[in-house]
Structure 1
Amino acid sequence: MNFFKNIIDKFAGKPVDWDELEEALIRSDIGVPMTLRILKTLRERDAWSWVTANDIAEVARDEIGRVLPINPPPIRPLPAHPKVILIVGVNGTGKTTSAAKLAHFFKTRRHTVLLAAADTFRAAAIEQLGVWAERIGVEMIRGQYNADPAALCYEAYEAADKHNVAFLICDTAGRLHTKSNLMGELAKVKRSLSKHDPNAPHEILLVVDATTGSNALAQAKQFHEAIGLTGLIVTKLDGSGKGGVVVAIQDELGIPTRFVGTGEKLENFAEFDGRDFVRNML
């Protein structure tokens, strides 16, 4: 995940070309505001000392470390009712797989989990989540194709509450963040869940693909404006040389990364650790 390694190697042993460095930082997907802060600090150093590749690494590490929380707040069960987690995102980010991995994450920590297959529009989506549910060993609420996802989530909450389930994870249909009517459907799902618990859903996690770069920032902005996000699940954060979008979304929107996916296996999923992220990025 050393997405700054190429930048550091590029400027090793030679004077810094500021325009070239600015372009390289922006290409790393950390966002324009973070890029400008790094450049400002480096230029202040350049006034009295030759800026080296090590300086670039040090300043980037310090600036990013100030933004990323070391330990984002953990997701814990509620004392008397299900903790509801809504999984949202565009198509192709690994949303359904992430919902299953999250269920496995909680189950391995001895929590009860119920999955709701509220992606009723994508071909084979219900079957895909069903295969995961069987493999993990958790129950799943399913409906017919083209069924109302809001109604399904409403029924899933009733089932989770009745059986004292700790976590209800609702997998929703992938949708383009630019389509207001589709985003409106998510707002309807939120309203249906809030009829059971005014605070539900308690978490709304956007699944983003680390390799999509600045497009993930645009997705986060639109979803956050439409339904209010509480965190990210970032997929494909494994040796892609990418990951800067984690910084940009936290810096510009204040949305923390809660979990990361680093491979295809169920076990390749973990809580985000800001300290490890900063350590590994350079």
Structure 2
Amino acid sequence: MNRTMMALRGLYGVWLREITRATRDRAQLIGGISRPLIWLLILGVGLNPYFRGEVYGEVRFVIPFTYLQFLFPAVIVLNIMYTSIQFAVSVIWDREFGFLREVLVSPMPRWLILFGKVLGGATVATLHGALVLILARFADVTLSLEQVALALALMFTLAFGLTSFGVILAARVRSFEGFGVFSNTVILPLYFTSSSIFPLDPALTRAQQAVTYPEWLVFLVQINPITYAVDALRGVLINFNQFTPGWGIGIIVAMAVGFFLIAIIDFARQ
């Protein structure tokens, strides 16, 4: 029992340290607020009039939602992606300044230390994703308490997986500068090829049947796991899915488990 209590206290201490450090980082907080505002206010509002087609002289939206509604779940994923993967900078920081070495010589198992750090990063990323939910009324998205609860569960699972992925990247990139460049080369391609800003299926309406996507783009979208994360959140928040609804939840859980297991292996080599 004493060992269990000590392990839980150690886990709580690691988690709390990550939360405290993130809340003191004003730049991260500003980014978490400004990013969704820019995407929804500028991109969402700016492109909203063009997200529609002509069908027998009748103007209608390309899918049965406005562009703001369609973009809203994707912006949540974007906020989570940036926060989760950038969290790995703290791993590089701890490694460079010796804190990680001090923690690793503690009686706590390494996997438990990693679990605490990933839990902390996932908590912060989920909070940043929840900031976007405040804009639901602006995006004309009406949410029930059940929808919010399910969305938060999906967001936390996704954040856990992406934070673990960030740790994997940090184990392979040793410098702050290199990680900043490398992380952006990962985040942006993953996000833009996830059907986040355009609907993939051209058969949704007659207007879209005239639109042809290159095969390579469709292939990239279909193999991108973030595609299914965005789709799962769209299913919960606006009741719209482009793929089988269960796929998104399954892939998010598989990402969280798979990336964390790989992160454990990499973290053991620190």
Q: TM-score, normalised by structure 1?
A: 0.23
Bigger share in strand: 1
Bigger share in helix: 2
Q: TM-score, normalised by structure 2?
A: 0.23
